[in-house]
Amino acid sequence: MSLALTRLLQLASPALPVGAYTYSQGLEWAVEAGTVRDEQTALSWIGDQLEWNLGRYEAPLLLRLMEAWTVPQDAERWPGDTALELDAEYLATRETAELRAETLQMGYSMKRLLHELGDFPQSLLDAIGVSPAPTFPYVWSCAAAAWQIPRQDALTAWLWSWAENQTMAALKAVPLGQAAGQRLLQEIGRRLPAVVDHALALAETDYSNFAPAFAIACCNHETQYTRLFRS
């Protein structure tokens, strides 16, 4: 159990060398447009994305990916057939060029890291390599499954890592102070258990990432004149 916990902390760490800190996922444009302008509006933006976008699509999809990676090696659809399908499905939902580039760059970096760690199962490295352009959830979920991290814990860490990155982006772009950032994380952390529980129980037919304001923000960011972030 302690080893799984340390691996989980490693996956959720800001030190994970995948470049997550360089992306704001449209938040920078929301600041430029005045939609996000202070602590409260930053909380509204991040909290809404967590509940209505990630919590209802990305989170349950990550759970399915983890399950796909734990199929026994002698099963008919192993290695990774189902994971490949989910990988392609996730990539198809990236509405803009920046969002697509983000998940592919982070997926590539995560894949390279697993190779460089030296003790990751070769069979899973080979399975990851079947995807011509692995997304970040595809590779991250493989690591979480291989390290036998409980599903609920893995999902909590995934969402927390995303929220922490969004908070850091808000601190730089709005800008906000460190105490405001901690209040944001405290409130997001309070909401996380309910989001995770909902994702665990959500039927596939109820998946939805319908978030038009998010898509518009990401589109507008691509032509924003002054930018700190890559998305």
For position 98, which CATH number holds?
A: 1.10.4190.10
Evaluate whether residue 100 is within a structural domain. yes
Q: Contact 88/107 with Cβ under 8 angstroms?
A: no
Specify the pTM. Answer: 0.94
Evaluate whether residue 13 is within a structural domain. no
- Minimal CA–CA distance to 166: which of 53, 4, 74? 53
- Domain extent, residue 164, equals 37-221
From residue 2, alpha-carbon distances to 5, 11, 121, 179 in Å are 5, 14, 20, 31
Evaluate whether residue 164 is within a structural domain. yes
Evaluate whether residue 187 is within a structural domain. yes
Q: How confident is the model at residue 72 (pLDDT cuts 50, 70, 90)?
A: low
Q: How confident is the model at residue 82 (pLDDT cuts 50, 70, 90)?
A: confident
Evaluate whether residue 16 is within a structural domain. no
CA dist., res. 159 & res. 150, Å (int):
14
Count up the domains in the chain and report the number.
1
Is residue 17 over pLDDT 60?
A: yes
Helix segments in 147-211, DSSP class H = 151-173, 178-201
CA Rg, the chain, in Å? 17
Evaluate whether residue 76 is within a structural domain. yes
Evaluate whether residue 22 is within a structural domain. no
Q: How confident is the model at residue 71 (pLDDT cuts 50, 70, 90)?
A: low
Element housing 64 (H / E): helix 59-69
Evaluate whether residue 6 is within a structural domain. no
